[in-house]
Amino acid sequence: MSGEYAVQAERAAAFVAAATAAAERYEALTASDEARRVDTDAQRWLGAALGRAAAAEALLEETAAAPPLEAEDELRLALMAREAMRLAWTAILELARVEPAAFEQTARELVGGLAEPREEAMLRDLARARLGIG
């Protein structure tokens, strides 16, 4: 991997892993019969998040299978990786609105997995603004 594509693919992989982890945490939090009685839409939210995470992962796999040869390939693959990141972030945000506890640990892990302090600060600020936390 090289250039813009490599950067976007690396970031997207972290977001896809975080979205999957958030969905797994949400599933664990809503696994009891009591939780399902309280939130009858729990399975719908979980299915939507898992679907977005799976679609994002499929996009990343596609980009890994087709290394860039020309400039247009690099741009196409970078855009696919960015779209994977957007799908994963949407999944995380939707779960966070429904069950903030499913997001908090995921956000800490995702922020810790980003290499640059600037990226950590941007994600932290975005999460705080969107979710009204800390």
pLDDT tens digit string along 99-133?
766 666 666 666 565 555 665 665 665 565 555 54
Query: For the chain, what is the domain count?
Result: 1
Buried b (16+ CB within 10 A) or exposed e, 50-71: bebbbbbbebbeebeeeebeee
Q: What is the pLDDT of residue 54?
A: 94
Q: What is the pLDDT of residue 130?
A: 53
pLDDT band of 134, cuts 50, 70, 90 = very low
What is the span of the domain harbouring residue 96? 3-131
pLDDT tens digit string along 42-87?
788 888 989 999 999 999 998 888 777 788 888 888 889 889 988 9
Only one residue has tokens 């957007």, namely 86
